């Protein structure tokens, strides 16, 4: 009598198939450092920087020259204030169409609606 079961245990291969090649792990993006709250509020405490934040609270991105024109001040001074706001993580920046232009803006994640900013540890009404 012959065994008609083609997959009888004695007929199974003795080696296991090779495991698929491991995909290289993508490096995890390190989490952003927590906001330094005293630095954050200090940055907002300057009248010039507060005016810049009010302008950007609607979602408008500005270059330093556009910001200087909007507040009627010189480029160098306004550029310094924008860097302080960025370092305090009140605003973010990205390159504009021209590589020399940097646009400053308040990220959408921090804008609940026009004039209301939410940074997680505080909600600010600018208007």
Residues 51 and 71: beta-carbon distance below 8 Å: yes
Q: Is residue 113 part of a domain?
A: yes
Distance between first and last Cα of the chain: 93
pLDDT given at position 115: 85
Chain centroid to CA 66:
22
pLDDT given at position 34: 80
pLDDT given at position 56: 95
Number of domains in the chain: 1
Q: Is residue 101 part of a domain?
A: yes
The size of the chain, in residues, is 127
pLDDT given at position 37: 94
pLDDT given at position 26: 52
pLDDT given at position 28: 62
pLDDT given at position 113: 84
Q: Is residue 47 part of a domain?
A: yes
Q: Is residue 28 part of a domain?
A: no
The mean pLDDT values, 10 residues at a time, for the chain of 127 residues are: 51 53 55 84 96 93 95 95 96 82 93 90 91
User: Which residues span the domain enclosing 111?
Assistant: 36-125
| Domain CATH number, residue 57 | 1.10.10.10
108: how many CB neighbours lie within 10 A of its CB?
A: 8
CA atoms of 117 and 41, how far apart (whole Å): 13
Q: Is residue 5 part of a domain?
A: no
């Amino acid at each position: 009598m012959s065994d008609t079961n083609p997959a009888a245990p004695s007929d199974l291969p003795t080696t296991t198939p090779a495991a698929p090649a491991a995909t290289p792990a993508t490096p995890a993006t390190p989490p952003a450092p927590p906001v330094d709250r005293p630095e954050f509020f200090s940055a907002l405490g300057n009248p010039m920087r507060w005016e810049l934040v009010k302008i950007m609270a609607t979602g408008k991105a500005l270059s330093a020259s556009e910001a200087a024109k909007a507040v009627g001040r010189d480029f160098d001074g306004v550029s310094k204030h924008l860097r302080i706001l960025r370092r305090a993580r009140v605003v973010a920046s990205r390159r504009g169409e021209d590589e020399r232009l940097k646009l400053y803006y308040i990220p959408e994640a921090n804008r609940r609606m026009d004039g209301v900013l939410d940074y997680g540890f505080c909600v600010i009404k600018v208007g």
